[in-house]
């Protein structure tokens, strides 16, 4: 039972962490390696909320706004000139990640710090065991996040325009869609979501200036195997996240940490379209 919950909550956490990266990759066809930096920004936003003495519930909203604002600035200054050079965009955003990490180090110091969790209790399971309520809460958050994104993409005019840009940017532009604006909005939203996810994962562990990097690589691989679909991302998170939990439990934690990257690399080798329908 608790293994099953581990798989479910791990998948939910991965999904929250990946959603912003997937959105940016889908619309802009670039990999945002500053994603790890934005996760860190979110973590420190949560820390700020704790320092200011506000209720931890403020952390996600606060993190989202700060992340989105950073995203806006970065899209204008760095990402926009690199639309036609996707491999260079990976490098430039990785450089941005370094900058974010160093600025945070200068502002907050490099030591590990802790953030208050909004929910601290544990839920009693039927078998007598108990399970962290916060982790369970994250499942609900991930589902809500997925549904909201789907609703925005399927139900609003912005979503329609965004989907048009995903499918055929040149045609969309020819039809009078301001694809630059769509990219701008997407990148800001992606950064905001990453930051939000960063604030969600901090109560589980701790914050430090490089906390985003390990997440980045896993998120990157999950997005690679998902194509550009939110549904296949969910499948990938459950399958590969589940594999990670099982390997960590029955094998060893170090191998578990490798599960997602190695499996994803082989999945892509054997089936280049990954988990999305060919």
Residues that bind another protein (CB under 8 A): 31, 78, 81-82, 85-88, 90-92, 94-96, 98-99, 102-103, 105-106, 110, 213, 217, 220-221, 224, 252, 254-255, 257-258, 261-262, 264-266, 268-269, 272
CB atoms within 10 A of CB 261: 17
State which residue, 138 or 239, has the beta carbon closest to another protein: 239
Cβ 210 to another protein, closest distance in Å? 9
Joined together, the tokens standing for residue 171 give 């045609």
d(CA 264, CA 270): 10
Cβ 79 to another protein, closest distance in Å? 9
> What is the enclosing helix (H) or strand (E) of 131?
strand 130-132
State which residue, 61 or 255, has the beta carbon closest to another protein: 255
Joined together, the tokens standing for residue 259 give 């599960």
Q: What is the 8-class DSSP label of residue 126?
A: T
Cβ 208 to another protein, closest distance in Å? 13
Cβ 258 to another protein, closest distance in Å? 5
**CB distance 276 to 233 below 8 Å:** no
d(CA 5, CA 91): 37
State which residue, 88 or 154, has the beta carbon closest to another protein: 88
Q: What angle do CA 63, 82, 75 make, to 5 degrees?
A: 25
Lookup result for tokens 């039809």: 175
d(CA 130, CA 122): 6
Joined together, the tokens standing for residue 149 give 């994104």
State which residue, 51 or 76, has the beta carbon closest to another protein: 76
Cα–Cα separations (whole angstroms), residue 53 to 48, 116, 224, 259, 276? 8, 10, 39, 39, 44
State which residue, 32 or 117, has the beta carbon closest to another protein: 32
State which residue, 64 or 220, has the beta carbon closest to another protein: 220
């Amino acid at each position: 039972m608790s293994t099953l919950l581990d798989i479910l909550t791990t998948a939910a956490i991965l999904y929250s962490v990946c959603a912003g990266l997937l959105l940016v990759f889908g619309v802009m066809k670039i990999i945002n390696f500053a994603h790890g930096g934005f996760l860190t920004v979110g973590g420190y936003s949560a820390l700020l909320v704790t320092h200011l003495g506000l209720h931890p519930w403020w952390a996600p909203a606060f993190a989202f706004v700060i992340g989105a604002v950073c995203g806006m600035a970065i899209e204008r200054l760095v990402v926009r000139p690199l639309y036609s050079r996707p491999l260079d965009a990976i490098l430039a955003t990785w450089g941005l990640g370094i900058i974010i990490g160093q600025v945070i180090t200068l502002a907050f110091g490099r030591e590990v710090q802790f953030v208050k969790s909004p929910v601290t209790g544990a839920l009693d399971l039927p078998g007598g065991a108990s399970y962290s309520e916060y982790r369970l809460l994250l499942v609900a958050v991930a589902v809500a996040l997925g549904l909201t994104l789907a609703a925005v993409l399927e139900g609003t005019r912005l979503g329609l325009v965004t989907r048009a840009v995903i499918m055929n940017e040149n045609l969309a532009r020819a039809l009078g869609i301001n694809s630059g604006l769509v990219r701008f909005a997407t990148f800001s939203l992606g950064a905001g979501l990453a930051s939000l996810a960063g604030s969600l994962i901090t109560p589980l562990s701790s914050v430090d200036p490089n906390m985003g990097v390990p997440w980045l690589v896993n998120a990157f691989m999950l997005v690679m195997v998902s194509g550009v679909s939110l549904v296949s991302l969910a499948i990938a998170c459950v399958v590969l996240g589940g594999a990670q939990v099982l390997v960590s439990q029955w094998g060893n934690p170090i191998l578990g940490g490798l599960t997602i990257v190695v499996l994803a690399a082989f999945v892509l080798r054997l089936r280049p379209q990954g988990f999305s329908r060919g």
